[in-house]
Structure 1
Amino acid sequence: MTTVAAPGAHVWTLEGGLRVAFERRKGPGFAFDLRLPVGSAHDPVGREGSAGVLEEWLYKGAGGRDARAFQDALDDLGVRRGGGVGPEATRVGVSGLAADLPGALTLAADLLLRPALPGEELPVLVDLARQDLEGLEDSPPDRLAVEARRVAFPRPPESPFAGFAHPASGTPEGLANLDAAGLRAFLDRYGTRGSVLGLVADAEPGEVRALAERTLAGWRPGDEGGVPAEFRPGERAHLPDPDAEQTHISVTAPGVAPRDGHWLAWQVALTALSGGSASRLFHAVREERGLAYQVGASPVVLGGRGFLAAYAGSTPDRAPETLAVLLAELARLPAGLTEAEFHRARAGLTASVVFGAESARARATSLTRDVAVFGRVRSVAELRAQLAALTLDEVNAFLAGYDPAAHATVVTLGPQEPRL
């Protein structure tokens, strides 16, 4: 099946279900981003850390090469490698010169179709994951983020998946239970179903499709089963840290799903709320009252749904006021934006769309995200046109029925719980 998604962009569904999103762009380089719909949230209960350790293990040799030879093959091509493990997906990203695209894609295919998975490397990787977890203890914002996900998105008791309440590095108990057989079985989840390859290069579309079909032929179907992200509204929790010099505040609230018609209106509203030095949160929390050096809010997509995630760090004695002001700004959203706020936020969002597509690597990542999250490729021209057509009345009509403060879940970390 072939779909022309936007001018210059094509989306193909290959045999087995792998979707390839390609955009032709003049220039000497290429970039691709392969998104697998398996992340740390898919870790089996009691084996937290499976996705993170497995991703590292894959690079310890593939395609008949040991770890050193595989790294040498990447270096010989002069490519840049990216990717990593998130809650819902694992990504393999590579960029380089156009002539090296076939070789780079072959190496990526070797990782997934022909990995060596040497047993002697596994204890080292598990130990590195443990060190990452120990480092987490020295980062209060990261510890808070993990606790906030645990409180806001608890794992359903019947789910076989560990869910969102742990980092990609896993947990000490989960890492202790990892073994080679279990990780090899976990690798079977990676496959064509639900996976998306986003690719940007100056090449003929037919040649790119043939290259993808040829290079990734024989890849197993895998499993694209999602992990439910059931939000628990109105929760309050505090993680005591007597030695902390700051109180860290996390607020999670419902948002808008990516395929909802109000998605762009929500994005404009979030930009007005937290889109720079003129935003509401920056002005109310930092500039006007000097409550926090860092404050902000951003959209998060989990389980196909959108959520607002806000953060602030304050001194313990001023944390209650910081939390109160943060929640007050969320509660003020239903009253709508002013004309100046709207135009400023829309202009800022438009600029981020334009500049975010300038690099081939960023655009390749956008292609995979668009197909996986939005179900289609959105061109820069289309997004600019939609933003230009969006009106203040439309945004405010949406905001009139949007009250995130009423359903917010608050999690804090510090010497004492900030009480309102």
Structure 2
Amino acid sequence: MRLAFERRHTPGFAFDLRLPVGSAHDPVGQEGAGGLLEEWLFKGAGGRSARELQDAFDDLGVRRGGGVGLEATRLSVSGLADDLRPALALIADVLIRPTLPEAELPVLLDLARQDLEALQDSPTDLLAVCARSAAFPRPAGSRFAGHAHPASGTPQGLAALDAGGLRAHLQRYGQSGSVLGLVADMEPEQAHDLVLGVLGELRFGEDAPVPAHFQAGARAHVPEPEAEQTHLSLTAPGVAPTHPDWLPWQIALGALSGGSASRLFQAVREERGLAYAVSASPVILGAQGFLTVYSGSTPARAPETLEVLLAELARLPQGLSAAEFERARAGLNASVTFGAEGLRGRAGGLTRDVALFGRVRPLSGLRESLARLTLDDVNTFLHGYDPIRGLSVVTLGPQELPHA
């Protein structure tokens, strides 16, 4: 396990533990294992029942968060400085000494099935799952289920889960590949000794990244005959976090979809009134960066919406204007600054930095890098960037689009 620590003279603390096991690591045929296991872990630990464990967190007055993502499970806690050790000890109990009462499994399985049913009533969430399934199909022969299912699993996967399989899956959760981001008022040596003393017994675990093999040119339509909207999702290759062009790519995304002055907002919503919602965002899977674009439109205007989205992506290689560059850089600088102000945000940032970039990126260094970045730097990158090539398109609605 790697510890990313930052000292702040504050009466509070925050930590964010990232375990490199997410829903993509669910065993083939046991989709939903990670999501169910995360819930099961908090049904009692360290000799406490589920109610006693919850009371122990509440008695400390801490805020708890986290959850199961595609590539990792996160456990985060924040509170007052005096409660750091007992809060970390409770998380250690959850991971090292869970009760795992089998009587709770039927209830948890039923809740997971309800989540899957609710997914059908959320077109945007359902589209996101279907878009991943089309763009990142599971490689043949992989022991992992991959990125094409929600954390709640699949009906078939949930039906196959049992206590033995979940306990075996828990053995993957350990120190290997894990990162703990901690912000508190103490010496670095004290932080190291605290984490070692409390989490030192955590099993070795497994760090086995799930590759994201992008299916270039994928096309799919999810029929929803009664839907009043057509939802569109586009996925294109991007830039990896460790690549030198990461910052230029972030600036380009800010110009594309960074507020009311952004290209997508203006072209899709303001100028043509095609859609109320339109956005573009980066996604990181398998240490690679990808660009995803979303919009929802009426079925009649969905083909035109897709045409405009494609046109805006196609003109990115022509470069940004000076005004677009300055707005995007200012927005990214503000995001970096304000995102690190809160203890919880900074703890999560430390964890994310180490997991994605291999090191902590000092805030001062990030601001300096942004200040040194020029319009020529960004446009030089964009001249060689073609998001249209290999683009995948997935739609959800009453009828398939001609272009999709």
Do they superpose with TM above 0.5? yes
Partner of 2:42: 59
Aligned residues of 1:331 and 1:406 also touching (Cα < 8 A): no
CA apart distance, 1:310: 0.5
Query: Structure 2 CA distance, aligned partners of 1:75 and 1:204?
Result: 27
Aligned residues of 1:336 and 1:400 also touching (Cα < 8 A): yes
Partner of 1:208: 191
Query: Structure 2 CA distance, aligned partners of 1:329 and 1:234?
Result: 18
Secondary structure of the corresponding residue to residue 300 of structure 2:
helix
CA apart distance, 1:45: 0.7
TM-score by length of 1: 0.95
CA apart distance, 1:258: 0.3
Partner of 1:267: 250
Aligned partner of 2:64: which letter?
Answer: R
Partner of 2:270: 287
2:281 equivalent among 292, 298, 307: 298
1:168 is aligned to 2:143: no
CA apart distance, 1:204: 1.4
Query: Structure 2 CA distance, aligned partners of 1:237 and 1:72?
Result: 47
Partner of 1:37: 20
Secondary structure of the corresponding residue to residue 405 of structure 1:
coil
Aligned ranges for residues 211-360 of structure 1 at < 5 Å?
211-360=194-343
Aligned partner of 2:241: which letter?
Answer: P
CA apart distance, 1:203: 1.2
Partner of 2:368: 385
Query: Structure 1 CA distance, aligned partners of 2:106 and 2:269?
Result: 46
Query: Structure 1 CA distance, aligned partners of 2:176 and 2:103?
Result: 31
Aligned length: 403
1:151 is aligned to 2:134: yes
Partner of 1:13: none
Aligned residues of 1:38 and 1:89 also touching (Cα < 8 A): yes
Partner of 1:179: 162
Partner of 2:98: 115
Aligned partner of 1:258: which letter?
Answer: P
Aligned partner of 1:341: which letter?
Answer: E
Secondary structure of the corresponding residue to residue 407 of structure 1:
coil
Query: Structure 1 CA distance, aligned partners of 2:258 and 2:151?
Result: 28
1:50 is aligned to 2:43: no
1:404 is aligned to 2:401: no
- Identity of paired residues, percent? 70
Query: Structure 2 CA distance, aligned partners of 1:406 and 1:327?
Result: 11
1:93 equivalent among 76, 85, 89: 76
TM-score by length of 2: 0.99
CA apart distance, 1:309: 0.6
Partner of 1:71: 54
CA apart distance, 1:157: 1.4
Aligned residues of 1:274 and 1:296 also touching (Cα < 8 A): yes
CA apart distance, 1:238: 0.6
Task: Extract unaligned runs of 5+ from structure 1.
Answer: 1-17
2:124 equivalent among 134, 138, 141: 141
Query: Structure 2 CA distance, aligned partners of 1:241 and 1:218?
Result: 50
Query: Structure 2 CA distance, aligned partners of 1:355 and 1:206?
Result: 28
Aligned residues of 1:266 and 1:395 also touching (Cα < 8 A): yes
